[in-house]
Amino acid sequence: MTVRNGQERQGEGRRRPGGSAAPLSEAYDTALLDLDGVVYAGGEAVPHAVEALGTARAGGMHLAYVTNNALRTPDAVAEHLTELGVPAEAADVITSAQAVARLIADDVPSGSRVLVIGGEGLRVALRERGLVPVDSAEDGPVAVVQGYGGPEMPWGRFAEASYAVARGLPWYASNTDLTIPGARGIGPGNGAAVEVVRIATGGRVEPKVAGKPLPPMHRETVLRTGARRPLVVGDRLDTDIEGAFNGGVDSLLVFTGVTDAAQLLRAVPEHRPTYVAADLRGLLDAQPEVVAEGDGSFVCGDWRASVSAPRGGELVLDGPAGAGAGPADPMDAVRALCGAAWSAADAGDGGAPDAGKVLARLGL
């Protein structure tokens, strides 16, 4: 089935990636792009990102940058993008700091003090909503909010949040991503910091969370971009792709960040993207159909994927390169494998089939 601007089986999750007869940059009016692991990693542009985004923009696609990273202000993010060769303005950037600030402002009176455990991006977002950031639980806050503060965040800030939460103050978090990609690898994200406070306070309360994949972030994005046919582009199944699923919009997963092919093949229904590509060049391409055959196999391009046995089987891949040879386009193989793996998992035949051999063959 060719999917054009809509989720196949949105309510229950898809069983194969979608296809698009037109390049994605033409099929959708706005790309809602995650940043870390999609556009840049550790401050440097991801390979092919600058050129692909430039071509998409020149063709008329609106680019918006949607990030769960609350550390920096939209101005700082836009400046960084521009330095990398991706021209952007502050209005093009939507952060989880903005989403959580709106969430807090809906709950407390204007002018209220809020204890901030995070960076300048969070402080600026709170001020934008008429709230007053403070640094101590002794400064009379009516709420406490956590956002990613960078690798140099002092341990004492988590203690300050713990004191406030233990006293019964409402607790908010910009996001709960456990990890964040960087130039040297994967590091702890704001979700790890939230867990520190949760443990210190006995795990008796939960924060209100604004960031992807939850509705407040989607609401903030729609309000600020005015997108009519958006495409979410991300590298994380549990934030970017699940957020698109929750918002009822299509998504493109790229393999330049934290998700690998093995994780994609094991994805639960709400974590299954509409489209799959190696990197942001996928925005410029039409997406091939994944065809379900009568024998239970799935075909994409020259590749056919199936499951060897109904229960406890393994994925089997047949393609033009022959056994043991490297394929010319592994993404078509991955798309076909998604169809076989997701359908087998949804059929309840012993969970996701083993993908180890076929992924080793593809070098993934």
Catalytic site residues? Answer: 34, 36
The torsion angles phi and psi of 344, rounded to 5 degrees, stand at: -65, -40
Measured in residues, the chain has a length of 364
Q: Distance between CA atoms of 157 and 169, rounded to whole angstroms?
A: 16
Residue 114 CB neighbour total at 10 angstroms: 27
Residue 50 CB neighbour total at 10 angstroms: 17
What distance, in Å, lies between the first and last C-alpha atoms of the chain? 26
